[in-house]
Amino acid sequence: MANTVDAMKKMSKKEITRVFLLQNGLLILLGIGIIFISSGILNWTKQLSFSLGAIILAVVLAVVVGFLNVVFDRLLPERLTDDGGLNKLIFKDRGIIDILWLCVLIGVAEELLFRGIIQFYFGFWASVILFVLVHFRYLNKVYLLFNITITSIIIAGLFQFSNQNLIAVIVFHILFNFIGALDMRNRYQNEGGVAHGEERRREHGERRRSRV
């Protein structure tokens, strides 16, 4: 993980974007190809059918879970929520539209793979476990591991509950990531302005001592 972050620190913002475009673009093409070839046109259109109820549920879930995630990220000490600096590297200096496109790309690519292929063919828990393992930078932090596991279960559950509707889980994934990414961007750009819980308590203690 440290090697990955160190390598990315040497890249420009454009180079990091190209890496994401290449990796997730290939995942999208792979997912579309496998789903289309193995399922046929009928199952393909069924998984991508528009369901207003499923999409509304996805939006509500993403907003609730996303904002709960933001609250915990702000309250907990940074040592529990730090992923090694990769999120900071990716989101700190990006514009909102840039972040949105990255979230769309990641959401589409990962859901085509994990829900459209893995969960469709191998089941609920296979998609949950593999989704967690792919986010390997979270595995050595208890809170991050718990967080990504719960998120994975929620997405897999939404896929099952929505009658395997890919659009619903893609919408959830995009919105959930976008909420978290915007909060990270704001915190990283205003370091000291919006602190983690531990830092906030330390600053409060210092202010109290200065009054004595």
Is there a domain that residue 56 lies in?
A: yes
Is there a domain that residue 125 lies in?
A: yes
- pTM score of the predicted model: 0.78
Is there a domain that residue 34 lies in?
A: yes
Which of residues 84 and 43 earns the better pLDDT score?
84
Q: What is the domain extent for residue 73?
A: 12-206
Cα gap 33→39, rounded to integer Å: 10
pLDDT digits (tens, 9 = 90+) for 134-181: 888 788 889 999 999 999 999 999 999 999 999 999 999 999 999 999
Is there a domain that residue 2 lies in?
A: no
Is there a domain that residue 192 lies in?
A: yes
Q: Tell me what pLDDT residue 151 has.
A: 97
Is there a domain that residue 5 lies in?
A: no
pLDDT mean over 76-90: 82
Residue 193 has pLDDT above 60, yes or no: no
Q: How confident is the model at residue 82 (pLDDT cuts 50, 70, 90)?
A: confident
Least confident of 20-34, 41-55, 176-190: 20-34
pLDDT mean over 40-52: 71
Least confident of 11-20, 189-198, 203-212: 203-212
Which of residues 35 and 99 earns the better pLDDT score?
99
Q: Tell me what pLDDT residue 178 has.
A: 97
Q: Tell me what pLDDT residue 165 has.
A: 93
Is there a domain that residue 135 lies in?
A: yes
Q: Tell me what pLDDT residue 126 has.
A: 95
pLDDT mean over 18-46: 63
Is there a domain that residue 178 lies in?
A: yes
Count up the domains in the chain and report the number. Answer: 1
